[in-house]
């Protein structure tokens, strides 16, 4: 919907004007009383919800009212722009995260709290990643220092961050074994059903399991008793039915909560008072 602004001086004027408008808006909001702020939140929530509801429920490319001509949904062209605006607002909050980390770790160092050196490592890592990340994006990689910076960035990002995340992910395998041990102890009737079902599903996935029941004829009802077919039935019928029932409940629950938030009916948790 929005087209690039040209020439450059006009683009910069628009950027500065919009930034100034945002600062003024944020300042104005910060001066408001809590009750007034909530009124604005309620009005914005209702209008934003109304936009998405109308956009989805109005027909895409057909007559909306009997007296109008055939035309496209008038709200659809605004959909992507509104999504981008939401992303821009989310971008503002990034600094909140960095500020919070800086405050928490800065306090640890200043007060020499237990493990303060971990907080010092945080600042070191933050500054190193900012510096080498910016050099990687905007710096001259061909220059002598550029090559060192490029390798350091690769070492920090691929060698450090990515490897550490992969290590955390691989820990899951060990935790899963520990969790499976606890789950598969035969403590009750439900646990026994779980163990038997899990055993059959696992057996149905491996060649050894299929080998066990290969003798059952393939052309009559006995084929259903082959372990791979029992495993498939458990997954596609029993498990899937339960999963869909849960998803129906979750969907209706989300709809009810959305409706309460949209119509300002939410009480107890966020909004103590009625307006």
Partner 1 sequence: MKLEHANWFHLAMMVVFCCTIVFAIITARRGRRMFIRRIPGLSAIDESVGRATEMGRPMLFSVGLGQIDMPTLQGLAVMSHVARLAARYGNRLLVPVADPMVLAVAEEATREAWQAEGKPEAHRPEDVRFLSDSQFAFAAGMMGLVIREAVASTFLFGYFYAESLLLAEAGQESGAIQVAGTPATTQIPFFIVSCDYTIIGDEYYAASAYLTQEPTLLGSLVGQDLSKGILILLILVGTLLSIFWPGEANPLIRLLTKSGGG
Task: Give residues in contact with partner 1 (CB under 8 A).
Answer: 56-62, 72-73, 76, 90, 93-97, 100-101, 103-104, 107, 115, 161, 164-165, 168-169, 171-172, 175-176, 178-180, 182-183, 243, 245-250, 252-261, 263, 265-270, 272
Residue with smaller CB distance to partner 1, 65 or 270: 270
d(C-alpha 182, C-alpha 186), whole Å = 9
d(C-alpha 159, C-alpha 164), whole Å = 8
Sign of CA dihedral 96, 97, 100, 101: negative
Least distance to partner 1 from the beta carbon of 255, Å? 6
Terminal-to-terminal C-alpha distance of the chain: 36
Least distance to partner 1 from the beta carbon of 219, Å? 24
Residue with smaller CB distance to partner 1, 146 or 160: 160
Read off the DSSP letter of residue 222.
Answer: G
Beta strand residue intervals within 90-179, DSSP E: none
Least distance to partner 1 from the beta carbon of 60, Å? 2
Burial label for 218, CB within 10 Å (0-12, 13-18, 19+), is exposed
Residue with smaller CB distance to partner 1, 72 or 148: 72
Least distance to partner 1 from the beta carbon of 190, Å? 10
Q: Is the peptide bond before 228 cis (omega within 30 degrees of 0)?
A: no
Residue with smaller CB distance to partner 1, 77 or 217: 77
Residue with smaller CB distance to partner 1, 139 or 184: 184
Least distance to partner 1 from the beta carbon of 53, Å? 9
Least distance to partner 1 from the beta carbon of 163, Å? 11
What token pair was written down for 178?
Answer: 């520990």
Sign of CA dihedral 41, 45, 47, 48: positive
Residue with smaller CB distance to partner 1, 50 or 255: 255
- Taking 3-state DSSP, the helix, strand and coil percentages for the chain, each rounded to the nearest 5, stand at 75, 0, 25
Q: Provide φ and ψ at 61, rounded to 5°.
A: -135, 60
Q: How many CB atoms lie within 10 A of CB 107?
A: 12
Least distance to partner 1 from the beta carbon of 218, Å? 25
Residue with smaller CB distance to partner 1, 13 or 100: 100
d(C-alpha 72, C-alpha 64), whole Å = 9
Residue with smaller CB distance to partner 1, 25 or 148: 25
Contact 80, 1 (CB under 8 A): yes
Least distance to partner 1 from the beta carbon of 121, Å? 13
């Amino acid at each position: 919907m929005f087209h690039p602004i040209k020439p450059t001086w006009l683009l910069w004027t628009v950027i500065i004007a919009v930034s100034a408008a945002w600062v003024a808006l944020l300042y104005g909001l910060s001066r408001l009383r809590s009750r007034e702020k909530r009124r604005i939140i309620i009005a914005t929530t209702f209008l934003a919800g109304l936009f998405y509801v109308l956009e989805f429920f109005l027909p895409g490319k057909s007559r909306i009212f009997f007296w109008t001509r055939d035309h496209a949904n008038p709200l659809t062209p605004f959909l992507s722009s509104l999504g981008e605006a939401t992303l821009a607002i989310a971008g503002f909050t990034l600094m909140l995260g960095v500020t919070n980390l800086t405050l928490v770790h800065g306090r640890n160092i200043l007060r020499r709290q237990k493990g303060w050196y971990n907080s010092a490592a945080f600042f070191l890592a933050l500054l190193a990643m900012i510096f080498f990340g910016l050099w990687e994006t905007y710096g001259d990689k061909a220059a002598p220092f550029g090559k060192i910076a490029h390798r350091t960035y690769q070492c920090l990002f691929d060698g450090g961050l990515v490897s550490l995340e992969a290590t955390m992910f691989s820990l899951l395998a060990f935790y899963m074994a520990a969790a499976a041990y606890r789950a598969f102890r035969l403590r009750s009737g439900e646990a026994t059903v779980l163990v038997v079902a899990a055993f059959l599903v696992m057996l149905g996935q491996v060649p050894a399991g299929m080998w066990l029941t290969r003798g059952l004829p393939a052309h009559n009802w006995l084929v259903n008793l082959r372990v791979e077919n029992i495993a498939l039935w458990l997954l596609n019928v029993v498990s899937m039915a339960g999963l869909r029932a849960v998803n129906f409940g979750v969907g209706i629950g989300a709809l009810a909560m959305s409706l309460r938030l949209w119509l300002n009916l939410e009480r107890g948790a966020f909004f103590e008072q009625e307006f």
